[in-house]
Protein backbone atom coordinates (compact mmCIF):
# COMPACT_ATOMS: atom_id res chain seq x y z
CA UNK A 1 0.00 0.00 0.00
CA UNK A 2 1.17 3.52 -0.83
CA UNK A 3 -0.33 6.80 0.37
CA UNK A 4 0.04 9.48 -2.28
CA UNK A 5 -1.15 12.87 -1.01
CA UNK A 6 -2.68 15.40 -3.40
CA UNK A 7 -3.41 18.73 -1.66
CA UNK A 8 -3.13 16.74 1.59
CA UNK A 9 -5.87 14.33 0.43
CA UNK A 10 -4.81 10.68 0.27
CA UNK A 11 -4.86 8.66 -2.92
CA UNK A 12 -4.39 5.13 -1.59
CA UNK A 13 -2.68 2.76 -4.02
CA UNK A 14 -3.42 -0.77 -2.91
CA UNK A 15 -4.09 -4.30 -4.07
CA UNK A 16 -7.46 -5.86 -3.36
CA UNK A 17 -6.10 -8.20 -0.68
CA UNK A 18 -4.80 -5.48 1.67
CA UNK A 19 -6.69 -4.25 4.73
CA UNK A 20 -8.47 -0.94 4.13
CA UNK A 21 -10.14 -0.50 7.51
CA UNK A 22 -8.41 2.84 8.13
CA UNK A 23 -9.83 4.23 4.86
CA UNK A 24 -13.26 2.60 4.84
CA UNK A 25 -14.99 5.95 4.26
CA UNK A 26 -13.25 6.62 0.94
CA UNK A 27 -14.63 5.79 -2.49
CA UNK A 28 -12.94 2.86 -4.24
CA UNK A 29 -12.20 2.56 -7.94
CA UNK A 30 -10.20 -0.01 -9.90
CA UNK A 31 -7.28 0.79 -12.17
CA UNK A 32 -8.00 0.05 -15.82
CA UNK A 33 -6.46 0.82 -19.19
CA UNK A 34 -9.14 3.47 -19.71
CA UNK A 35 -8.22 5.34 -16.51
CA UNK A 36 -5.79 8.22 -16.99
CA UNK A 37 -3.82 8.70 -13.76
CA UNK A 38 -3.29 12.43 -14.27
CA UNK A 39 -7.00 12.95 -14.93
CA UNK A 40 -7.49 11.35 -11.53
CA UNK A 41 -4.92 13.72 -9.99
CA UNK A 42 -6.59 16.76 -11.54
CA UNK A 43 -9.96 15.58 -10.24
CA UNK A 44 -8.57 15.19 -6.71
CA UNK A 45 -7.11 18.71 -6.87
CA UNK A 46 -10.65 20.10 -6.92
CA UNK A 47 -11.59 21.50 -3.48
CA UNK A 48 -14.72 19.40 -3.03
CA UNK A 49 -12.94 16.08 -3.59
CA UNK A 50 -11.94 13.82 -0.70
CA UNK A 51 -9.59 10.85 -0.42
CA UNK A 52 -9.77 7.96 -2.86
CA UNK A 53 -8.74 4.30 -2.94
CA UNK A 54 -7.28 3.03 -6.20
CA UNK A 55 -7.27 -0.77 -6.46
CA UNK A 56 -4.40 -1.89 -8.68
CA UNK A 57 -2.70 -5.17 -9.43
CA UNK A 58 0.79 -3.78 -8.76
CA UNK A 59 0.72 -0.70 -6.44
CA UNK A 60 4.49 -0.18 -6.74
CA UNK A 61 4.30 -0.04 -10.54
CA UNK A 62 1.34 2.36 -10.38
CA UNK A 63 3.28 4.58 -8.00
CA UNK A 64 6.18 4.77 -10.46
CA UNK A 65 3.77 5.65 -13.28
CA UNK A 66 2.33 8.47 -11.16
CA UNK A 67 5.74 9.79 -10.14
CA UNK A 68 6.84 10.05 -13.77
CA UNK A 69 4.37 12.94 -14.21
CA UNK A 70 5.95 15.11 -11.52
CA UNK A 71 9.25 16.81 -10.83
CA UNK A 72 10.48 14.92 -7.77
CA UNK A 73 12.17 16.65 -4.85
CA UNK A 74 13.74 14.50 -2.16
CA UNK A 75 13.62 15.43 1.52
CA UNK A 76 14.70 13.86 4.80
CA UNK A 77 12.73 13.84 8.02
CA UNK A 78 13.10 12.69 11.60
CA UNK A 79 10.81 10.73 13.90
CA UNK A 80 12.81 11.57 17.01
CA UNK A 81 12.40 10.04 20.47
CA UNK A 82 14.16 11.16 23.63
CA UNK A 83 15.26 9.02 26.56
CA UNK A 84 11.72 9.18 27.98
CA UNK A 85 10.31 7.81 24.69
CA UNK A 86 8.66 11.15 23.95
CA UNK A 87 8.26 12.27 20.35
CA UNK A 88 9.77 15.52 19.06
CA UNK A 89 7.08 17.70 17.48
CA UNK A 90 6.88 21.27 16.28
CA UNK A 91 4.19 23.77 15.33
CA UNK A 92 4.63 25.20 11.84
CA UNK A 93 2.14 27.62 10.30
CA UNK A 94 -0.30 26.83 13.11
CA UNK A 95 -0.30 23.04 12.72
CA UNK A 96 1.66 20.28 14.44
CA UNK A 97 4.35 18.84 12.23
CA UNK A 98 7.55 16.77 12.23
CA UNK A 99 10.99 18.13 11.25
CA UNK A 100 11.88 17.59 7.61
CA UNK A 101 13.44 19.41 4.68
CA UNK A 102 15.06 19.22 1.28
CA UNK A 103 18.38 17.49 0.80
CA UNK A 104 21.28 19.83 0.04
CA UNK A 105 23.66 19.10 -2.87
CA UNK A 106 26.48 16.79 -1.83
CA UNK A 107 24.83 15.31 1.27
CA UNK A 108 23.19 11.92 1.70
CA UNK A 109 19.53 11.66 2.60
CA UNK A 110 20.50 10.50 6.11
CA UNK A 111 22.81 13.51 6.56
CA UNK A 112 20.08 15.84 5.33
CA UNK A 113 17.50 14.36 7.69
CA UNK A 114 19.82 14.81 10.68
CA UNK A 115 20.69 18.37 9.64
CA UNK A 116 17.05 19.38 9.21
CA UNK A 117 16.11 18.11 12.68
CA UNK A 118 19.02 19.99 14.23
CA UNK A 119 18.27 23.23 12.36
CA UNK A 120 14.50 23.24 12.80
CA UNK A 121 14.37 22.18 16.44
CA UNK A 122 17.67 23.31 17.96
CA UNK A 123 18.97 20.02 19.31
CA UNK A 124 21.89 17.67 18.68
CA UNK A 125 23.20 14.30 19.92
CA UNK A 126 21.03 12.60 17.30
CA UNK A 127 21.41 9.04 16.06
CA UNK A 128 19.45 7.31 13.31
CA UNK A 129 18.12 3.96 14.51
CA UNK A 130 16.37 2.82 11.34
CA UNK A 131 14.68 3.89 8.12
CA UNK A 132 10.92 4.10 8.66
CA UNK A 133 9.10 4.82 5.39
CA UNK A 134 8.70 7.24 2.51
CA UNK A 135 5.80 9.65 2.14
CA UNK A 136 4.61 11.24 -1.11
CA UNK A 137 3.11 14.73 -1.22
CA UNK A 138 2.28 16.78 -4.33
CA UNK A 139 1.94 20.51 -4.79
CA UNK A 140 1.75 23.05 -7.61
CA UNK A 141 4.06 26.03 -7.97
CA UNK A 142 3.71 28.53 -10.81
CA UNK A 143 1.60 26.03 -12.72
CA UNK A 144 4.13 23.20 -12.41
CA UNK A 145 3.49 19.99 -10.45
CA UNK A 146 6.06 18.85 -7.91
CA UNK A 147 6.25 15.69 -5.83
CA UNK A 148 8.06 15.79 -2.50
CA UNK A 149 9.34 12.36 -1.54
CA UNK A 150 10.21 12.50 2.15
CA UNK A 151 12.45 9.75 3.52
CA UNK A 152 11.62 9.32 7.20
CA UNK A 153 14.07 7.94 9.76
CA UNK A 154 13.50 6.97 13.34
CA UNK A 155 16.05 8.72 15.53
CA UNK A 156 16.95 8.85 19.18
CA UNK A 157 18.68 11.53 21.20
CA UNK A 158 20.11 12.04 24.68
CA UNK A 159 19.68 15.83 24.32
CA UNK A 160 18.17 17.40 27.46
CA UNK A 161 18.67 21.09 26.68
CA UNK A 162 16.24 23.78 25.58
CA UNK A 163 14.59 23.24 22.21
CA UNK A 164 14.79 26.24 19.87
CA UNK A 165 12.33 26.62 16.96
CA UNK A 166 13.69 27.87 13.65
CA UNK A 167 11.55 30.99 13.33
CA UNK A 168 12.63 31.79 9.77
CA UNK A 169 11.02 28.50 8.72
CA UNK A 170 7.71 29.56 10.31
CA UNK A 171 8.24 27.20 13.25
CA UNK A 172 6.87 28.80 16.41
CA UNK A 173 7.02 25.96 18.96
CA UNK A 174 9.04 22.79 19.53
CA UNK A 175 8.31 20.29 22.30
CA UNK A 176 8.29 16.65 23.36
CA UNK A 177 4.95 14.82 23.27
CA UNK A 178 3.78 11.47 24.54
CA UNK A 179 2.53 9.89 21.31
CA UNK A 180 0.42 7.31 23.15
CA UNK A 181 -1.66 10.07 24.74
CA UNK A 182 -2.42 11.91 21.46
CA UNK A 183 -5.86 11.39 19.91
CA UNK A 184 -4.75 11.28 16.28
CA UNK A 185 -8.33 11.54 14.98
CA UNK A 186 -8.66 15.10 16.31
CA UNK A 187 -4.98 16.12 16.37
CA UNK A 188 -4.42 19.46 14.60
CA UNK A 189 -1.97 18.35 11.93
CA UNK A 190 -1.71 17.70 8.21
CA UNK A 191 -3.40 14.54 6.97
CA UNK A 192 -0.10 13.21 5.61
CA UNK A 193 1.54 13.66 9.04
CA UNK A 194 -1.50 12.13 10.77
CA UNK A 195 -1.18 8.99 8.67
CA UNK A 196 2.55 8.84 9.34
CA UNK A 197 1.95 9.12 13.09
CA UNK A 198 -0.68 6.36 12.88
CA UNK A 199 1.97 4.13 11.30
CA UNK A 200 4.51 5.09 13.99
CA UNK A 201 2.00 4.38 16.73
CA UNK A 202 0.97 1.01 15.31
CA UNK A 203 4.56 -0.17 14.82
CA UNK A 204 5.60 0.85 18.32
CA UNK A 205 2.94 -1.30 20.01
Position 20 pLDDT exceeds 90: no
137-147: b or e for each residue (b if 16 or more CB lie within 10 Å)? bbeeeeeebeb
Long-range contacts of 127-134 (CB under 8 A, 24+ apart): 127/155, 127/156, 127/157, 128/153, 128/154, 128/155, 129/153, 129/154, 129/155, 129/156, 130/154, 132/79, 132/199, 132/200, 133/196, 133/199
Position 96 pLDDT exceeds 90: yes
By the 8 A CB rule, do 5 and 67 touch? no
- Higher pLDDT, residue 96 or 20: 96
What is the pLDDT at residue 17? 64
Query: What angle in degrees, to the nearest 10, is found between the helix axes of 59-67 and 37-44?
Result: 70
User: What mean pLDDT is reported for the chain?
Assistant: 93
What percentage of the chain has pLDDT greater than the value 70? 96
Domain 75-204 is classified in which CATH homologous superfamily? Answer: Nucleoside Triphosphate Pyrophosphohydrolase (3.90.79.10)
The phi, psi pair for 163, rounded to 5°, reads -80, 140
What is the pLDDT at residue 108? 97
| pLDDT tens sequence across 146-192 | 999 999 999 999 999 999 999 999 999 999 999 999 999 899 999 99
What is the pLDDT at residue 23? 74
- Higher pLDDT, residue 143 or 153: 153
Position 62 pLDDT exceeds 70: yes
Q: Distance between CA 140 and CA 123 in Å, rounded?
A: 32
Domain ranges of the chain: 2-67, 75-204
pLDDT band at 140 (very low <50, low <70, confident <90, very high): confident
What is the pLDDT at residue 21? 67
Position 18 pLDDT exceeds 80: no
pLDDT band at 202 (very low <50, low <70, confident <90, very high): confident
pLDDT band at 205 (very low <50, low <70, confident <90, very high): low
Amino acid sequence: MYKFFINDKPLILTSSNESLNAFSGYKQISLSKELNLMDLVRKMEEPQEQGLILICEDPAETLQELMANFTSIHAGGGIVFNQDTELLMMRRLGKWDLPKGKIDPGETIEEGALREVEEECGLNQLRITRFFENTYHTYKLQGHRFLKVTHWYEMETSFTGILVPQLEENITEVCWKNLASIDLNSFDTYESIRQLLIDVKSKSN
